[in-house]
Structure 1
Amino acid sequence: MRLRHVTPAAALLAVLCVPAQAQTRDISRDTLPANDGWAAYGTGTTGGAAADDAHVYTVTNRAELVRALDGGSDTPKIIKVAGTIDANTDDDGDHLDCADYATGGYGLKRYLAAYDPRTWGSARPSGPQEDARQASAAKQAERIVLPVGSNTTIVGLGDHAVLKGASLQVKNAGNVIIRNLELRDAYDCFPVWQPNTGGLGDWKTAYDNIWLTGATHVWINHVTASDKGHPDAEEPSYFARNFLRHDGLLDITNGSDLVTVSWSRFTDHDKAMLIGSSDTATADRGRLRVTLHHNEFDSVVQRAPRVRFGQVHVYNNRYVVPEGSEYRYSLGVSTESAVYAENNAFTTPSHVEVADLVKSWNGSALHQSGTLFNGYPVDLLSIYNAYNSGSERDLTADVGWTPTLHGPIDSAAVADREVARGAGAGRIP
């Protein structure tokens, strides 16, 4: 082998040009540490750590990513994302916008005219424009829905690995790791009007940045998820309702189980995280066991998380509500949920009260301890019950279980500082 001579100046330049993350250890074969939340239960979570060299990929565009995912196959694989990948691209890598997906005569103005409640009424949309919307939505889904199979690790390279416009979907698969990756703007070009939702009707969107459905043993770590690029707050209103383009940042539904979400950032979004999709999904009993620790929820309006049925450990998380931003609640206690919240820190403007942090729909239990609210210790449970006395049933502290799978639990004050410094993509030590 011939060795190329490198001058000292060239060697120095090469070192200076290497991103800081590239000089750190290879994290692609990391597995979930023991006792790190529910995903460590039983066999633990190893992702694609067993992949042979032929199934280790570095991908730089959508086409390469799709080939590496292999249709959601169960073959052990490691996928390293380099740079920014746009899911809204054709096979040649050219960007696609909503007009490129529209088909069958679909047009937003025509859709709005067809289903205006003043003339259409409260029936579900049907007919030519709804058929065209569905066909157009299917064309977009073909490009942006990316199935993730069992025994897969997806990891970002360096400090700025980005997947935009995509919906990663772990469907009926297990043993998956997603780390060090920014996921932004899973933008739905074709929301559907639902006249009977919430009494006034609402727009329903189709895509989460990450959707776990029937998934087991999943570790999501140092991920940043947001609507960056197309915030819903800047969208117009139609039929007196915000024309939403995004669903959840991370939804965990349909019997998903044994999930750990850690050191991640969820930001600039309305409904961030849904755990359990329906009050009637009684098959979820005994599942939806999820751990959320050392995550930041910044400028999130609601669902951080909202829980049905699941045993969910929420500890050492940081919640930030900026001045002037919309806010409804953080912890949603819904049907048969069992949320165990420890040492979480909330920073809010003056119009947000302690009782606003929790919302209950048919839920009856919430364990909480060590909570900080704007730097002061508070008892969420007693304040919630006092504030809602006479209007909603009281919540009890007995959730029927005590978490055992976790590392050291810091005080809320310490966690607040550490999460501010260390959560999100590009921040793996």
Structure 2
Amino acid sequence: MRRLLHITLGAGLLAALSVPASAEGRDLSRETLPAGDGWAAYGSGTTGGAAADKAHVFTVHDRAGLVRALDGGSAVPKIIRIAGAIDANTDDKGAPLTCDDYATGGYDLSAYLTAYDPRSWGGAKPSGPQEDARRASAARQAERVELAVGSNTTLVGLGSGAVLKGASLQVRDADNVIIRNLDLRDAYDCFPAWQPNSGGLGDWKTAYDNLWLRGATHVWIDHVTVSDAGHSDADEPTHFGRNYLRHDGLLDITNGSDLVTVSWSRFADHDKAMLIGNSDTATGDRGKLRVTLHHNEFTSVVQRAPRVRFGQVHLYNNRYVVPADAHDFRYALGVSTESAVYAENNAFTTPGHIEAADLVKSWNGSALHATGTLFNGFPVDLLALNNSYNSGSERDLTPDVGWAPTLHGPVTSAEQADRDVASRAGAGRAS
């Protein structure tokens, strides 16, 4: 073990000489969340792995090195610097793995589609040899791509070219985590499951979020870019009359996660971008799911930017861009059970067929504070529009969300934020 550690650290030192470890002379890996910067600054704040000793500072170049540094999600303070592009779908020697490499037990997509065609199988949940084989194949991929991030960890990209492809980073039951300056892309599920009763018409269920906070506390996510880059779901075929989805969420914050700040990040080219709170019946989430989202860009996303249940979410100075050719846009802000979203000074740019009333949708939600909104360059009252047009919502919303944010930086105008976020949000732009 000591020999392996020595080799890993040696490679890291060499990489640090050739790849900048800082932005404008600052070492990002030792930085902590500034005081007052959103909900993650509450209480003890968020310091990640800043206390790591030299033996727990790693520079990694491949999946094997990343797995060793993560140490199974251990809580030992650690700093992990990612140099270059890492593909999670690789074997222990770094050779690429395809979906065929994970398939086992006789799994075959054509056979799966034949076995569970609703015209012959009906509406029952899939079971039998092909479903068993799909599950076994999915487990093989999960073993490769699901990577646990433990407490007291800083995970940071070096320079402007740090990419983590195909991975599902999972911060589960962990505290005090920082993830910065990373391009997280294409958490591609090789083995989606058919759910015949989902949504009334059935749907394909995928397994992996690029980044999933589950029972996580004090987490700072900053200057990340998260997308489906490389494999667009729009390019996937249709099976059983439904798009054969390969991706789940970009960032999901669920299962009692709390005290999270997401800043200066870019979420792009995806359907369901961000879910905060995963179930209407998860009443244990009450008093948790406190999240701040500021100076982020949501571009070419269909929905969930974010969708919120239960949580007190401060949403300020974010930029939303819907492209001209977007014909599947559903909504931006989802107001769900007992959510308390405090939105201020956010900017939206959309094509002409999308109206301001389309930006909000509610399911069992009752409140939304929304002020300072800019829509295609003009100020609008999102709450009044939602209540007037009832854009897919079940009830009128009240502006009283029962709280007001106190932990935040300067809140600029939506116009200023739109310019700032366009030029500074995303991986490789930390400064």
Class of the TM-score when normalised by the shorter of the 2 chains: over 0.9
Aligned in 2, Cα 1:19/1:287: closer, same or farther, shift over 3 Å?
closer
Matching residue of 1:308: 309
SS in 2 for 1:397: coil
SS in 2 for 1:208: coil
Matching residue of 1:89: 90
Matching residue of 2:7: none
Q: Which amino acid aligns with 1:365?
A: A
1:203 matched to 2:204:
yes
Matching residue of 1:386: 388
The 5 A counterparts of 1:30-429 are: 30-325=31-326, 326-388=328-390, 392-429=394-431
Q: Does the 8 A contact of 2:57 with 2:80 survive in 1?
A: yes
Q: Does the 8 A contact of 2:275 with 2:304 survive in 1?
A: yes
Aligned in 2, Cα 1:390/1:317: closer, same or farther, shift over 3 Å?
closer
RMSD: 1.3
CA distance in 2 between counterparts of 1:208 and 1:112 reads 24
**Structure 2 portions without partners, runs of 5+:** 1-17
Q: Which amino acid aligns with 1:227?
A: D
Matching residue of 1:10: none
Q: Which runs of 4+ in 1 moved over 3 A?
A: 17-23
Deviation at 1:377, TM superposition (A): 0.2
The alignment-based identity, stated in percent, is 79
Deviations 1:50-89 (A, max 9, x none): 0000000000000000000000000000000000000000
SS in 1 for 2:144: helix
Deviations 1:18-44 (A, max 9, x none): 769676321101000000000000000
Matching residue of 1:13: none
Aligned in 2, Cα 1:390/1:353: closer, same or farther, shift over 3 Å?
closer
Q: Which amino acid aligns with 1:368?
A: A
Aligned in 2, Cα 1:235/1:406: closer, same or farther, shift over 3 Å?
same
CA distance in 1 between counterparts of 2:428 and 2:169 reads 19
CA distance in 2 between counterparts of 1:267 and 1:241 reads 22
SS in 1 for 2:252: strand
CA distance in 2 between counterparts of 1:399 and 1:102 reads 48
Deviation at 1:390, TM superposition (A): 11
Deviation at 1:392, TM superposition (A): 2.8
Aligned in 2, Cα 1:22/1:320: closer, same or farther, shift over 3 Å?
closer
Aligned in 2, Cα 1:130/1:391: closer, same or farther, shift over 3 Å?
closer
Q: Does the 8 A contact of 1:22 with 1:157 survive in 2?
A: no
Deviations 1:135-169 (A, max 9, x none): 00000000000000000000000011000000000
TM-score by length of 2: 0.94
SS in 2 for 1:54: helix
Q: Does the 8 A contact of 2:82 with 2:158 survive in 1?
A: yes
